[in-house]
Each structure stands twice: as structure tokens, then as C-alpha cells.
Amino acid sequence: MLNISTSGIVRTVLISSFVTALVAGTGGAYVMLHHRAVQQTAAEAGRMLSIATAVRGYTDQQITPMLRNDDKVFHPETVPAFAAQSVYRGMAAMHPGYTYREPAMKPTNLEDLPTPFEVELLDKFRADAQLKELAGVRQGAKGNVYYLARPIRAQESCLVCHDTSQRAPAAMVAKYGPFNGFGWRLNEVVALQSLTIPAAEELRQTGEIALMLAGGLLLVFVATYFALALAIESLVVRPLHALEQAAEAASLGTGGAPLPASGAREIRSIAAAIERLRISLAKAMKRPGDAPGRP
């Protein structure tokens, strides 16, 4: 029973420890890798959205003043949103999955009507004036995407075209009609910059790396398990079993089972003590009895 119970306990402890370490190690690695992948994607999205903001600023400061004086023809190139979205449409043609939009609650161009998800973002920005940015990972049409959104507030320059149809340039009204894109108020959140970046590949690679790590840990744990089990079996379990048999034989006076000459230092010390006890017991049993009649 000693051999079986000891081996069973040893194996149970080893397997439990290894499984716990494997789950904790793999899970922790996946969480860290996933967090790092999201951070890297967020940094890329921030840089790309800053480029869009720079394009908007350049258009507003350099292009619009040059073309706005033409009352006969409306030039969409004077609209900051048009310039930024045009640039990103060209980039999306080379890098599918990257999108940039400027959806508005009251857009001049109906192509800029917000999706239900973008409406949710606009409502959050409208409800909290201190909110500067919203970001995260969501399921897109082609897998997971990282989104980054920032509010666009109406400035004085915006109201020139978006206050009322009477105040707006006649060429713009003639192109888009008198009903769309008006009624904006100063400092109101009227639109948002919405950028999405594919994240499915990065997250998939994170899972693959975590699985590779789990496989490597599993191989190490299996090798370690068999090495430890073999060492404990040869150095502890078998010597203990031999000591058990020797002690039992000594207690019954049936002779001496061979004591282990190898094993851990403690096992050898116990074996030596049992051997001394067995020799002493044998001498005591061979000693002549007391003479008859002696008290």
C-alpha cells in the first residue's frame, strides 16, 4: 500500500501543479500579448487620425480661402471633410480594411449619414462635453476592427455653410439642396472623425503565439513530470517500500529482508537504524535465559 499510495500522491501533486502552471502561464501570456497588440493598433490609429486632422487643417487654412470667393461654382475641395476622406479613400485602395469617415447628424452629403454604431458614438459625445475620444475593438464585416472616434464641434467657419440655407453659399445650395446640412450651432458636436483599422490578424497572431507557448510549456512539463516521477520512484518510493518490508520482517522475527543501500541520505540513515535494531533484537533473542528458580 505504501508504494501505491505514495506514487499516487506524488503523481497527483505533480500533475495538479503542472496543469495550474500551464493554465496560468498560457492565460497570462495571452492577456499580455493581447493587450500589447491592442496598444500597438491604438498607437497606429492615433497616428493615422492625426494625419486626417492635419489634412483638415491644411484644407481649412490653405485651400478654402483660395476657392471660397467663387460664388458661381461650389468646390467640394474647400470642405475639410472632403479632403481628408479623399486622401483616405486612396489609401484604402492600397490597404483594404482601413476606413475613414466623418458622419454627421445633419450632413450635407447623404453619404455621410451615420450608421447605428456611429449614432451611438455621436450620442455619447453629445452627452459628455469632456469626452475627447472613444476607442475599442468591435466585430466588423470582415472580422475584428479597432475603431477610434473623436468629436467634431461646429466652429465659426463651419457656420458660414451650415447655419441656414439663406446664409450658405448659393452654389452649395444649388448643388446639395436647401434641406441638408443646416441647423448647426456653435460648439455643438455635429460630426465625428471615425477611423477603423483591421485588428483580426494581430489578434489571431496573439492566439497563435499563446498556443505555441502552451505547446512548449506542455512538452517541458511532460518531460519534467516523467523525470521527477522516475527520480522519486527510485530514490524515495522503492527504498521506503524496502524499509517497510525489512521492518515488518524484523518485528516478526522471520529473518532479514535486504535493506536498501541507495536512495536519499535520510533513507540510508533509516536503513542503518533498522539494521542496528534488527541486530540488537537478534542478539537479545539468542541470549541464554535466566537459571531456573532464580527470582
Residues 6+ apart with CB under 8 A from 134: 121, 124, 125, 147, 148, 149, 150
The Cα 31–Cα 29 span in angstroms is 5
| Structural domain includes residue 292 | no
**Residue-wise pLDDT tens digits, 196-235:** 888 766 667 777 777 888 888 888 888 888 888 787 777 7
119-122 — which CB contacts under 8 Å span 24+ positions?
121/149, 121/192, 121/194, 122/151, 122/189, 122/191, 122/192
CB burial string 253-289: b at 16+ within 10 A, e below = eeeebebbeebeeebeebbeebeeebeeeeeeeeeee
Claim to verify: residue 118 and residue 255 sit in the same structural domain:
no
Closest to 250 (Cα-Cα) out of 223, 217, 273, 232: 273
264 and 221 together in one domain: yes
Same domain, 47 and 107: yes
Rounded to 5 degrees, what are φ and ψ at 294?
A: -80, 140
In a domain, 256, yes or no: yes
Residues in CB range of 245: below 8 A, 6 or more apart: 257
Nearest CA to 134 among 204, 76, 189?
Answer: 189
Query: Does residue 253 form part of some domain?
Result: yes
pTM exceeds 0.85 for this model: no
- Domain of 264, in residue numbers: 208-285
- Residue whose cell numbers read 447623404: 110
- Asked whether residue 101 falls in the same domain as residue 147, the answer is yes
Residue 163, number of CB atoms within 10 A of its CB = 17
> Are 232 and 11 in contact, with CB atoms under 8 Å apart?
no
Are 137 and 250 within one domain?
no
Q: What is the pLDDT of residue 7?
A: 65
Last residue of a domain, one of 206, 239, 256: 206
455643438: which residue's cell? Answer: 188
Q: Which of these three, 206, 221, 252, is where a domain ends? A: 206
Q: Which residues of the chain have pLDDT under 50?
A: 1-4, 290-295
Q: Distance (Å, rounded) from C-alpha 130 to C-alpha 189?
A: 12
In a domain, 10, yes or no: no
Residues 84 and 171 occupy one common structural domain: yes
Q: Is residue 145 part of a domain?
A: yes
Q: How far is CA 69 from CA 64, 72, 108, 115, 166, in A?
A: 9, 9, 20, 34, 17
Give per-residue pLDDT as tens, 19-30.
Answer: 888 888 888 888
Residue 42 falls within a domain, yes or no? Answer: yes
- Residue 3's pLDDT is 43
